[in-house]
């Protein structure tokens, strides 16, 4: 079951007194053969799970870097079906989380999409434009098949709403650290430490901080207050620069965090 695989991956990392690191890449950026190379590399670097984006024409949560990656993927002819078929043909140990918007799922057919995710070995999904109030349109199909629906928490949300989001969370709770879209940042919201600490206190699943994570020092700082991080735009930028060593160092910083915090 996908959700169980994801839960086991997080439990294993935390049992080693490390922090989780989930890198994001766009499926089909450079072609699916290139995507496969990136997936293998990220797995070799010790990624806890990998978030794989599916290109969409109106990606409301994505900043310029991920939008550009999506356009490159479209030029390669990337579709939902091609991504799922590729994953089915290339099974792997690391859990794969698909990040997509609701419209491509609806167009594909919700039951067919959920079945195809199981066949492809997908562990969970992030659907950023699916509000809590409307999620039952797909949540039941995912739950029946053991797929985690990963919820996003906004730093501007009131505590009552954060409690409801946390209570429904599966796999991990994605704590958005900024106001706005994805992209590398030099700083985070002023209230970030209290926000992450609060979510970690109320969430039944690990809390991972995402949006703007681009430096090892970001990883070390944020994981003082939560179980790990998600990094996307910076990973895409570094792959474009062919700077795989910097990617390796960024992922490794999550493993060093616990040791640093004990000093």
Catalytic residues: 51, 62
CB-based burial label for 61 (10 Å; 0-12, 13-18, 19+): middle
Tell me how crowded residue 216 is: count the other CB atoms within 10 A of its CB: 17
Q: Quick one: tokens of 2?
A: 């996908």
E strands present in 177-215: 207-210
CB-based burial label for 64 (10 Å; 0-12, 13-18, 19+): exposed
Euclidean distance between CA atoms 8 and 5, whole angstroms: 5
CA–centroid distance for 119 within its chain: 20
Q: Could you tell me the CA-to-CA distances from 36 to 22, 92, 172, 247 in Å, in that order?
A: 16, 11, 24, 16
Q: Quick one: tokens of 17?
A: 């007194």
Euclidean distance between CA atoms 207 and 26, whole angstroms: 23
Query: Phi and psi at residue 171, in whole multiples of 5°?
Result: 80, -75
């Amino acid at each position: 079951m996908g959700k169980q695989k994801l839960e086991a991956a997080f439990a294993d990392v935390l049992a080693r007194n490390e922090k989780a690191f989930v890198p994001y890449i766009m499926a089909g950026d450079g072609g699916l053969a290139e995507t496969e190379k990136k997936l293998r590399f990220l797995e070799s670097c010790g990624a806890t799970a990998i978030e794989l984006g599916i290109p969409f024409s109106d990606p409301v949560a994505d900043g310029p870097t991920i939008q550009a990656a999506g356009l490159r993927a479209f030029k390669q002819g990337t579709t939902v079906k091609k991504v799922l078929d590729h994953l089915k043909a290339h099974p792997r140990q690391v859990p794969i989380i698909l990040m997509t918007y609701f419209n491509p799922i609806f167009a594909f057919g919700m039951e067919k999409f959920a079945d195809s995710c199981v066949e492809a070995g997908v562990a969970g999904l992030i659907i950023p434009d699916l509000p809590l109030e409307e999620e039952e349109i797909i949540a039941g199909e995912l739950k029946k098949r053991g797929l985690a629906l990963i919820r996003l928490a906004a730093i501007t949300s009131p505590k009552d709403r954060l409690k409801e989001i946390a209570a429904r969370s599966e796999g991990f709770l994605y704590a958005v650290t900024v106001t706005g879209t994805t992209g590398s940042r030099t700083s985070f919201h002023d209230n970030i430490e209290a926000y992450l600490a609060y979510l970690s206190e109320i969430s039944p699943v690990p809390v991972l901080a995402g949006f703007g994570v681009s430096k090892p020092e970001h990883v070390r700082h944020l994981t003082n207050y939560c179980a790990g991080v998600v990094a996307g735009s910076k990973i895409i930028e570094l792959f474009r620069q062919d700077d795989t060593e910097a990617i390796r160092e960024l992922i490794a910083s999550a493993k060093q965090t616990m040791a640093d915090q004990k000093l």
